[in-house]
Structure 1
Amino acid sequence: MRKLLLALLLCFSFALLAACGSSDDASTDDGAEEADSTEEKADATEETDNEEAAADDGVSERVKELQDAGKIVVGFANEKPYAYEEDGELKGVAVDVATAVLNELGIDEVEGHLADFGQLIPGLVANKYDIITASMAINPERCENVAFGEPEVKYGEGLIVQAGNPLDLHSYKDIAANPDATVSIMAGATEHEFVKSEGVDPKQIQSAPDIPATLSAVESGRADATTGTEMTIKMAYESLGSDKLEFVEDFEQPDIEGVPSYGAAAFRLDDNDLREAYNEKLAELKASDRYAELLEANYFSASMNAVEDEVTTEKVCNGEF
């Protein structure tokens, strides 16, 4: 009998201990779950507070991040008068317009990087830059790969030949009509397609990394002509001061889609908040006297190179201009 009572007492003790253990475990689990829940709520509250703060300031979370960082990375093509380096400082109309707009957005530092024109879009897509600009011409093909801001400047085409213009070249059609004529064009530039659309055989086209290289090709006799945006190649020609080259003053502008060209900054396709914020400040700039001042300070004419109100990126991307 005593043995039976002892066994019952032991069983009761073990049961009591087990019950206590289960209660402690449950309390621990409940405490962990409660802590996790509290942390999740805190994170959600912080995220909501950040979004509300951005909304109160009238900016998106994307722009707020850039404002807080105080810096944005912009890729510029090394092409006068759009973007170039002089005395260790980036200059040009694309630099000035982008800086003015981004400063108005509350982003103090524009970290500019010069690159070959053909490397701008790949660099943007690879997140190397937040924005790219060199007053890059908007065209339907590029509109498939990047999201352009609204147009900032318009421009036509120009032609440089060997001194004396021995092949009598005054248009892209003249190049097309002479199968022996060759033209050097900067890689990635719209002029590649422009000359082809005017009948120039691809075999007549040479590609070079930048404008100085295209001028060198003509100067050395490796090419008969080079073409690019009128202001760009004219400035490069005047800076070079070579008596072996000639700027074609009576160049006939091609009657093709994309001429005149409309230049703009470009953004990643999914970076809509930044693009829309940029466009808003750009519209304010274009409506001010400051816009004309920036154009004219960079060798452009406000009367000839300012963009008309009816010209929009959407229309240019659709081929309406």
Structure 2
Amino acid sequence: MKKLFVTMLFGSMLVLLAACGSDEDTASAGSKLEQLQEAGTVTIGFANEAPYAYESNGELKGASVDIAAAVFAELGIENMNSQLSDWAQLIPGVQAGQFDVITAGMAINPDRCENAAFSEPTMQYGEGLIVEAGNPLGLESYQDIASNPDVTVVVMEGATEIEFLKSEGVSEDQIQTAPDIPATFSAVQSGRADATTGTEMTVKMALESANTDALEFVESFEQPDVEGVPSYGGAAFSLENTELRDAYNEKLAKLKEDGTVAELLEANGFSGESNFVPVGEVTTEQLCNGEV
């Protein structure tokens, strides 16, 4: 009996010591922000979507990337590693700790807010439509697609446009998906789909880069009257890293007020006025609650 008591006491002491050691290790590791500051490097996830975040000749570019770099520099983190991911895998990736933040101009909406902690908006944007050159079907709105059941539209997997289309009456059997923007263009160009849609700046710049006469950006496109348009994009963090997100927001507000964010938007082809979101005009809390 005495031997059993000693064994149990010894085991309890080991558990207690292990717990204390774990607490000390956690404390010494510091917060996520402190860890990144000590390392001097933050890892970002992106989906290769111009002009938000994309790779060109081995260099990471885009408005979302440039804004994030400026904010992290203010936080004392000068270096950025990048990890390319499919759009649909960005939030699972930041949840799993594959990267520290998503810098993809991702639209902030209630569903996504359940799975990621978004910064305050860094930009706003509308939608765009790409069709076969000459627009033979006369498509100028999502409702035009909905009214013709023979029309098919291809959208990047996980993009908000899928729900926008459905809200405007487009049936599910008219909607196809593809892993990225070039794949959506290929589907239209090959005749597998009649149109593709995405955020205005994305599809417009992608079409310029594609350098093809086979496709056309619909200049007369009518913006859908649905919740979420215009969209407001921001950086996204793990729900476990809200302290890092809050520190990011503090520096982001400073860079908005001193004109840096507007300058970075303009440097990447956006408007420093129409795409800029002043501090407090539209908040992430409002977007997450579906109030905007």
TM-score of the superposed pair, with normalisation by structure 2? 0.89
- 1:21-170 residue pairs with structure 2 within 5 A? 61-170=31-140
1:186 is aligned to 2:171: no
- 1:23 corresponds to which residue? none
Q: Distance in 2 between matches of 1:156 and 1:245?
A: 20
Q: Distance in 1 between matches of 2:243 and 2:209?
A: 40
- 1:248 corresponds to which residue? 218
Cα deviation, residue 259, structure 1: 0.1
More off after superposition, 293-302 vs 108-117: 108-117
Q: Distance in 1 between matches of 2:98 and 2:33?
A: 17
What SS is found at the alignment partner of 1:66?
helix
- 1:295 corresponds to which residue? 265
What SS is found at the alignment partner of 2:129?
strand
Unpaired runs of 5+ residues, structure 2, are: 1-12
Structure 1 vs Structure 2 CA RMSD: 2.0
Cα deviation, residue 243, structure 1: 1.4
What SS is found at the alignment partner of 2:274?
helix
Q: Distance in 1 between matches of 2:237 and 2:57?
A: 29
1:221 is aligned to 2:191: yes
Question: Cα deviations across residues 225-260 of structure 1 (Å, max 9, x unaligned)?
Answer: 000000000011111121111110010000110000
1:313 is aligned to 2:281: no
Cα deviation, residue 47, structure 1: 8.2
Question: Cα deviations across residues 199-230 of structure 1 (Å, max 9, x unaligned)?
Answer: 00010001000001101111111100000000
Q: Distance in 2 between matches of 1:253 and 1:107?
A: 39
Code of the aligned partner of 2:147: A
Change (3 A) 1:47 1:158: closer
Q: Distance in 2 between matches of 1:76 and 1:262?
A: 17
Cα deviation, residue 293, structure 1: 1.2
Cα deviation, residue 269, structure 1: 1.1
Cα deviation, residue 61, structure 1: 3.0
- 1:173 corresponds to which residue? 143
What SS is found at the alignment partner of 2:45?
strand
Unpaired runs of 5+ residues, structure 1, are: 1-32, 52-59
- 1:275 corresponds to which residue? 245
Cα deviation, residue 319, structure 1: 1.2
Q: Distance in 2 between matches of 1:92 and 1:193?
A: 26
Code of the aligned partner of 2:163: E
Q: Distance in 2 between matches of 1:202 and 1:109?
A: 43
1:201 is aligned to 2:171: yes
What SS is found at the alignment partner of 1:305?
coil
Q: Distance in 2 between matches of 1:206 and 1:47?
A: 46
Q: Distance in 1 between matches of 2:150 and 2:26?
A: 65
Q: Distance in 2 between matches of 1:122 and 1:311?
A: 26
- 2:8 corresponds to which residue? none
Code of the aligned partner of 1:285: L
Q: Distance in 2 between matches of 1:47 and 1:82?
A: 35
Q: Distance in 2 between matches of 1:119 and 1:192?
A: 16
Larger Rg: 1
Question: Cα deviations across residues 14-44 of structure 1 (Å, max 9, x unaligned)?
Answer: xxxxxxxxxxxxxxxxxxx9xx99xx79x96
Cα deviation, residue 315, structure 1: 0.3
- 2:203 corresponds to which residue? 233
Cα deviation, residue 62, structure 1: 2.6
Cα deviation, residue 191, structure 1: 0.3
Q: Distance in 1 between matches of 2:220 and 2:165?
A: 17
Identity of aligned residues (%): 63
Question: Cα deviations across residues 33-80 of structure 1 (Å, max 9, x unaligned)?
Answer: 9xx99xx79x96x988x69xxxxxxxx733111111121111012100
Higher helix share: 1
